[in-house]
Amino acid sequence: MKKTRKVYVGDVAIGGGSPISIQSMTTKETKNIKEVVKQINDFEKAGCDISRSAINSLEDARAISEIKKRTNLPFVADIQFDYKLAISAVENGCDCLRINPGNIGGADKVKILVEKCKEKNIPIRIGVNSGSVHKDMIEKYHGVNVDSLVYSALEEVKVLEDLDFHDIVISIKSSDVNTMIDVNRKISSLCDYPLHLGVTEAGPLYQALVKSSIGMGSLLKDGIGDTIRVSITGDPLQEVKAGKTILKSLGLRRDGIDLVSCPTCSRTSVNLDEIVNEASDRLDKLNLNLKVAIMGCPVNGPGEAKEADYGIACAKGYGFLFKKGITIKKVKQEEIVDSLIEEILKDEKNEN
């Protein structure tokens, strides 16, 4: 992993060799405190590390203090255009600002905001995407491309650096995966600020999962990236689950159940999809660090999943429960998931 500066968002460290954090964003109006609190607390239960909310009014900004009282995750205030909203968000206890200094107001207003952030030890995340590239950069680099995106971000960074402010996180996003990969490789080579990775406007679930996995996975594998958000149109809890899976797949996060299952073939004689979905729902509720395999047939199942801590190899009307590739019992088909969960909980109880 590339060594970047360490920035604290609340009690979560970003960069400097810290664990890669997962972020998501609330979808309710921030002034609707009860709804936002529920979303943030659901994020936390799912494994999210940092939550972000749009601040579109002073009422939204003033709601932050009450939201903070009822939640544990660091709160990032996402501000566009109005520096007064940013000032109010800081005064009401946000843990980080997401802004573009270039569109928040004139130099005098940016200076006021930066001084307020220094006073409260609040970091600033600079966000640049295809829709916010500076016009002069578009002209200089002949369109919206890797160079115009990167140097727009660095221009925003310089505004803060000139005010002796360095608690900065950089985010450069694109809906094009290749562009997203290239801009983050380039910005990583030009500065040591921590990077927030994401594919913006990634689309509905399947499309977003594929785009984000390719984009983030390529960078994270090479040690680039310090915090992530998997943008998905729909339920933001899916973003958290996807982020955890990406990090676990790369060996960058180890908390929670890692569930593997076979793609099925003509040897499969059970509704494996139904069994896997039920097991996934129930395993998600267990706060354990385990690998679990559910295989569609007893021919290759135990052997293929021998690295799993627990597993089931299904057959017509029954299943074989195994641990570390060794079969320990035969169970009825309707008892497959129950038996799996019971065995895990029994062993966990004995260990404790």
Where do the domains of the chain lie, and which CATH numbers do they carry? Answer: 7-249 (3.20.20.20), 258-351 (3.30.413.10)
The annotation status of 297 as a binding-site residue, yes or no, is yes
Closest CA to 260 of 217, 214, 308, 302: 308
Query: Strand 96-99 vs strand 124-129: parallel, antiparallel, or unpaired?
Result: parallel
Give the model confidence (pLDDT) of 106-147 as tens digits. 788 889 999 999 999 999 999 888 878 888 888 999 999 999
Q: Which residues pair with residue 23 across a beta bridge?
A: 50
Tokens matching residue 92: 């009401």
Closest CA to 233 of 197, 198, 208: 208
Closest CA to 14 of 25, 26, 3, 30: 3
The annotation status of 191 as a binding-site residue, yes or no, is no
Helix (H), strand (E) at residue 36: helix 33-46
The annotation status of 304 as a binding-site residue, yes or no, is yes
Cα separation of 199 and 298, whole Å? 40
Tokens matching residue 72: 């544990």
pLDDT tens for the chain, 352 residues: list them.
Answer: 678 999 999 999 999 999 999 999 999 999 999 999 999 999 999 999 999 999 999 999 999 999 999 999 999 999 988 899 999 999 999 999 998 876 777 788 889 999 999 999 999 999 888 878 888 888 999 999 999 999 999 999 999 999 999 999 999 998 899 999 999 999 999 999 999 999 987 678 999 999 999 999 999 999 999 999 999 998 999 999 999 999 999 999 887 888 889 888 888 888 899 999 999 989 888 878 889 999 888 776 667 667 789 989 888 888 989 888 788 899 998 999 999 999 999 888 777 6
Closest CA to 92 of 112, 130, 72, 122: 122
Query: With b meaning 16 or more CB within 10 Å and e meaning fewer, what string describes 143-181?
Result: ebbbbbbbbbbbbbbebbeebebebbbbbbbbebbebbb
The annotation status of 262 as a binding-site residue, yes or no, is yes
Half-sphere exposure (Cβ direction) of 8: Cα atoms closer than 13 Å = 6
Give the model confidence (pLDDT) of 10-66 as tens digits. 999 999 999 999 999 999 999 999 999 999 999 999 999 999 999 999 999 999 999
